[in-house]
Amino acid sequence: MSETRPMPDVQASSDSRQVAIERVGVKDVVYPMCLRTPSGGTQQTTATINMYVSLSHTQKGTHMSRFLEVLNERKCSPITPEQIPEIAREIRDRLEAEEAHFEATFTYFIEKKAPVTGMPGLMNYEVTFECTSNAEDDFVMGVSAPATSLCPCSKEISEYGAHNQRCRVEARVRTDGAMWIEELVELLEAAASHPVYAVLKRPDEKFVTEKAFDNPKFVEDIVRDLAMALDAQDRITWYQINSENFESIHSHNAYAQITRDKSEA
């Protein structure tokens, strides 16, 4: 009977190049998520997950399979946002790394009624939860919302009408205490000329068009107004915000970004 030899652990071997790696791991893992809603219910969605660790300059590679082991050891059930810091810490410990990073991006749906007729429709928003675990846990929530922007310059110089377009307003925030996705969406949409909707009848279209015309904003106005709104939120301790306007009369887009750590104020 032949003797079974232990399989070599190549990843754990030393590396002579002495070059550390900031993040190494797995990307685009598709996995179910379960989120609580303000109404007391839950929403099931599917997340695309990235998991990384830092790698010492002395180690050749990381153990890729261990990322998936940590994720699936939760009885293969949907993960919740509250579990994300715990998963990041477990990845760091299991792979014996100084730092671990967990990132989940998913689509979140909110029922939104048209402003005049009240017709309901589901709006989709892109949300990202990020957690970095080292000496302590750092959790960041990111939300992207579509909206309408109407150009103040076009309105001022044109004899009639003004060009308008959809924009995408984004915020990444650190908070001291819980914050609902819906709360951040409301702040994002309020910063634009007007929100957009999934379902609009003619009375709604008239209302939205006229409200946007009465509230023209450059991309700079959007991020400045959003910054002021986030400054007024005591729970938010840090933010990075941006707006991208998908120009309707130019071949390029307009963009603006602001980052602020409120602890440095």
pLDDT tens readout for residues 29-66: 999 999 999 999 999 999 999 999 998 888 787 888 99
Per the structure, how many domains does the chain have? 2
Q: Which of 112, 240, 249, 250 is nearest to 169 (CA)?
A: 240
Nearest to 114 by CA among 211, 216, 208: 208
Tell whether the model's pLDDT for residue 15 goes beyond 70: no
131: Cβ contacts below 8 Å, ≥ 6 apart:
84, 85, 87, 88, 101, 102, 103, 137, 138, 139, 140
Whether the predicted pLDDT of 122 surpasses 70: yes
The per-residue pLDDT for 57 is 80
Looking at the structure, tell me whether residues 140 and 124 fall in a common domain.
no
Give the whole-angstrom CA distance, residue 102 versus residue 113: 34
Query: Is there a single domain that holds both residue 173 and residue 101?
Result: no
Task: Quote the pLDDT of residue 11.
Answer: 59
15 domain-assigned: no
Same domain, 99 and 114: yes
pTM, entire model: 0.89
Q: What is the pLDDT of residue 77?
A: 86
Among 134, 163, 182, identify where a domain stops.
134
Per-residue pLDDT band for 142 (boundaries 50, 70, 90) equals very high
Which residues are registered as beta bridge partners of 259? 240
Please state, in angstroms and rounded to a whole number, the distance separating the CA atoms of residues 229 and 242. 14
Structural domain range at position 196: 136-265
- Quick one: 127 and 176 in the same domain? no
Residue 106 has pLDDT above 80, yes or no: yes
Q: Are residues 250 and 161 in the same domain?
A: yes
Distance CA 51, CA 87 (A): 10
Domain boundary among 89, 109, 134: 134
Same domain, 171 and 80: no
Q: Report pLDDT digits (tens) over 56-83.
A: 888 787 888 999 999 998 877 899 999 9
**Same-domain status, 73 and 151:** no
Question: Given this model, what pLDDT does residue 9 score?
Answer: 54
